[in-house]
Amino acid sequence: MLETNFRILNVTKYVCATIITLGTILFIYGYASGFSNVVGIGYGTVMGGVFIFIMGLFLAATGEMLERKKNG
What would the pLDDT profile of 24-36 be if each residue is shown by its tens digit? Answer: 999 999 999 999 9
Record the pTM: 0.85
CA 36, 38, 39 angle in degrees (round to 5)?
Answer: 60
Distance between CA atoms of 54 and 36, rounded to whole angstroms?
27
Contacts of 12 (CB under 8 A, 6+ apart): 52, 53, 56, 57, 60
Helix (H) / strand (E) element for 35: namely none
- Looking at residue 66, what is its pLDDT? 86
Domain ranges across the chain: 2-65
What pLDDT digit, counting tens, does each position of 53-71 carry?
999 999 999 988 888 888 8
CA 23, 24, 27 angle in degrees (round to 5)?
Answer: 85
Distance between CA atoms of 22 and 44, rounded to whole angstroms?
11
Q: What is the mean pLDDT of residues 39-46?
A: 96
